[in-house]
Chain A
Amino acid sequence: MKGAPSPRSDGPRSRLVGLRDDLAQLADRALDRHLRLAVTGLRRSGKTVFTTSLVHHLLDGRGLPFLAAVHEGRYLGARLLPVRDGRAFPFEAYRAALAADPPTWPAPTEELSRLLLAVRFRTTNPLLRAVQPIQELVVEIVDYPGEWLLDLALLDGSFESFAHEAFALAETPPRAAVAREWLDLARRVDQTGPADPAAIDALVSAYRAYLLACRERLHLGYVVPGRFPRPGELEGHPALRFAPLPPAPVRPGSLRAAVSDAFERYREEVVRRFWEDHLRCFDRQIVLVDLLGALNLGPAHFADTQRALERIAGAFRYGRSGLLARLFAPRIDRVLFAASKADHVAPSQHAALKQLLEILVAPAGRAARFEGLVPEFLAIAALRSTDVVRTEHDGQVLSCVRGRLAENGRETVLFPGEIPPELPEPEDWTSGRFRFRSFAPRRLRPGVAGQHIRLDQALEFLLGDKLR
């Protein structure tokens, strides 16, 4: 298992340790005792909070009534294992931030990190019960910025198709408003001339500024290539020296040739490596979707979320895993689409939230079904930050939510609008029908029930069968 593409001191000793770990992992995998869980989702969909709350609750072992192992009294406990290669998920720091007074949400993820959790339980398998009644399952969770996933679609396309899509997107609102500078530059640049580093730099930084504006100013989720807005450790990497260009013939040594070479390098060295090292070998996947945020921002953002979801769901090859397949080419055999932040609306609207998500994911869900896998849908809140209040307003009894607003910490009672159970009509957007707000977190405490919504059901779907 290789970590992120970062320079590491690979002494013979650490290489030996790594080899031993690899072998142990292979053995665990063969015995079905190692489970890799992909926590996927776009930016601000709540991946980090989900992972933190999941680990907190598994360590705590209480307040998970829908997890069969807990409910049947077979769940014994969990402990964190040290992560030897790559960056460890800073669980303790995040939990401390959520347990502090006042608690704070974790910062958005900018880097890939991993987490290993050993879960102990009493097995129900009559054969195993005779040999070793107490079993251990190692759950490996990977947290990474959601937009890296969008890059996977680049593996199938070419530079031309990538550029074509980028231009088509940039010319339509709301992106057109922030794309002008880069579009002017891209259309003006002499593609057939020699590869001038300064010209490429200007082009790339204009494109990056445009993508950053899409993400930060317009809050759009579909930002491709995903590493461009915040390259992190790839800053200055030659594979990042490309940007979409209008169609033109390619001449050796020309600017276009250099840019499209960099695109190929990005595909091979960044995207394919990410796929090979981290994503290819997942067993289970949860895709978190912040539908409320998308509804809040309007039709363009909603369509953007839908596009991103299709890309994400299409990027994984689903299929059932047998013993051989698990050893050599593990594949995802369960996928859960979860509408996150369900606590921002009253529980009576969760059914509509789930239904809307089902409609959005329908095309990708069909593809998964075609591979013999039925996706599951849930409306969840990894960490609940509101209560329900029923009150009368204009002659109607409505369920509202009560909590502290994220931006100013003020306590409020809010009716954020009704979630449509089907795709919203054009007039829904114009009439100010949705005003979902973000809430500040509540303190995360051990041993308290009701700190989440359906996290236990998500867990039961994702790992329940491995805890039998």
Chain B
Amino acid sequence: MNEKRRPPRPFELDPAKVTSIVEPESLVPEEVAESAPSTAEPRRRHRLAGVLGIGLLGLLLLQAILHVEELVARNPWLGWPFALLLAVVLASASMLLGREWAELRRLARRARLREAARRLVGSELHGEAPKLLAVVGSELGRESPAASHLARFEELASDALSDGERLLLFERTVLAPLDRHAYRLVLESSRDIGLLTALSPLGLLDGLFVLWRTTLLLKAIARLYGMAPGPAASLALFRRCLRNAALAGIADVVTQATLEHAGASILSILSARAGQGAGNALLAAKLGLEAVRETRPLPFVAEEPPRLAHIRRALGETRLGG
């Protein structure tokens, strides 16, 4: 539409003859999800790595097939079961790979969704948010804990709301309860880690425990926001969280973390294990909060993102209480 267009004149229509235009919702999701800008450089590197991986896999596959062919020709009694087993292995491996690949893509799509949503914050226009939120709704999954909140959102969202308002309402009715749940998960797991590190007799044991419990936490958070991460997706999520935590650490070190570490070191004067426990608990909490940021399909708009300070306070309270 150009700038100088004539504004449309008023008119009136017979309601019986009006054909109402319904926006096709099924077409939109991919478009919205893909439209967000992406950086080209890592893409190229990924593609090269992909080509290499596919080549290696192809070689392996070719080798396996040749081997089976030879085996069948030499000894059918051994060859056919082997071929069957190979087929089973191939099928299940490709299914697993496909699922992992889908989850990895989903993790990347969430980042794009957040980017797209950030552009709609405070927007007074109409038309973009319903499409985006339809994608977000299907991302969260109809049978997840979000289902009842989604139904509530649909009941409350009137068509008069602008994009910004709709986004806000979605965050409040659908995501805020999930956020509270995620916060509880983070709190519980960091409490577990803190306690167990303080109690465990072996350094190696509590290292393993921290790793296991943190992975469990990240998976639980991802599931809460409608993802089903396998090992690869979990690893990717873990990597992202670690990277973000390290990046955020630079800013944090100056303000909060120094205080926390000072607190932990005072604690460690009293008891070395307790100090270590507090440190581990805070690290786990930090990773958990990063996982919330990474897996949440929308950015924090009006709701306050859960902060480490809240967790620390809550941890202190539980320690006092128990």
- Name A's B-contacting residues (CB within 8 A): 63, 65-66, 71, 342-343, 347-348, 350-351, 354, 381, 384, 387-394, 396-400, 402, 411-418, 420, 431-435, 449-450, 453-454, 457
Q: Chain A contacts of B242 at CB under 8 A? A: none
User: A66-B169, A354-B124, A389-B20 known; A347 and B9 CB under 8 Å?
Assistant: no
5 A-B pairs closest in CB distance: A351-B124, A435-B10, A450-B158, A417-B10, A347-B160
Q: What is the interface of chain A mostly: helix, strand, loop, or mixed?
A: mixed
Q: What is the interface of chain B mostly: helix, strand, loop, or mixed?
A: loop
CB <8 Å contact, B155 and A449: yes
Indicate if B161 sits at the interface (CB-CB under 8 A).
Answer: yes
CB <8 Å contact, B21 and A391: yes
Q: Chain B contacts of A350 at CB under 8 A? A: 124, 160, 162
Q: Chain A contacts of B125 at CB under 8 A? A: 348, 351
Q: Chain A contacts of B9 at CB under 8 A? A: 417, 431-433
CB <8 Å contact, A418 and B7: yes
Min Cβ gap B150→A in Å is 14
CB <8 Å contact, B159 and A347: yes
CB <8 Å contact, B20 and A391: yes
- Name B's A-contacting residues (CB within 8 A): 7-15, 18-23, 124-127, 155-156, 158-162, 165, 168-169, 172-173
Min Cβ gap B124→A in Å is 4
Interface contacts beyond A415-B10, A431-B9, A453-B158: sample of 14 additional A-B pairs, CB < 8 Å, sorted by A: A348-B127, A350-B124, A350-B162, A381-B160, A389-B18, A393-B13, A394-B8, A414-B12, A415-B12, A432-B10, A433-B10, A435-B10, A450-B160, A454-B160
CA distance A457 to B166 in the complex (A): 13
Using a Cβ cutoff of 8 Å, how many contacts connect chains A and B?
Answer: 103
Most A Cβ at <10 Å: residue of B13, B127, B160:
B160
CB <8 Å contact, B172 and A388: no
Min Cβ gap A381→B in Å is 8
Min Cβ gap B3→A in Å is 13
CB <8 Å contact, B173 and A65: yes
Q: Chain A contacts of B124 at CB under 8 A? A: 350-351, 354
Min Cβ gap A280→B in Å is 35
CB <8 Å contact, B19 and A391: yes
Q: Chain B contacts of A398 at CB under 8 A? A: 8
Partner of A413, one of B13, B21, B161, B172: B13
Q: Chain B contacts of A397 at CB under 8 A? A: 21
User: A393-B8, A432-B9 known; A413 and B160 CB under 8 Å?
Assistant: no
Partner of A415, one of B11, B21, B158, B172: B11
CA distance A391 to B162 in the complex (A): 19
Q: Chain B contacts of A390 at CB under 8 A? A: 20-23
Q: Which residue of A lies closest to B155 (CB)?
A: A449
CA distance A412 to B16 in the complex (A): 9
CB <8 Å contact, B8 and A415: yes
Min Cβ gap A344→B in Å is 12
CB <8 Å contact, B156 and A453: no
Q: Chain A contacts of B156 at CB under 8 A? A: 63, 65, 449-450
Q: Chain B contacts of A454 at CB under 8 A? A: 160
CB <8 Å contact, B8 and A71: no
CB <8 Å contact, A417 and B7: yes
Q: Chain B contacts of A413 at CB under 8 A? A: 12-15, 18
CB <8 Å contact, B8 and A418: yes
CA distance A73 to B273 in the complex (A): 42
Q: Chain B contacts of A453 at CB under 8 A? A: 158, 160
Q: Chain A contacts of B126 at CB under 8 A? A: 347-348, 399
CB <8 Å contact, B21 and A392: yes
The 17 listed contacts between A and B (C-beta, < 8 Å) are A63-B156, A65-B173, A66-B165, A347-B160, A350-B160, A351-B125, A388-B159, A389-B20, A397-B21, A400-B18, A413-B14, A415-B10, A417-B7, A417-B8, A449-B156, A450-B156, A453-B160
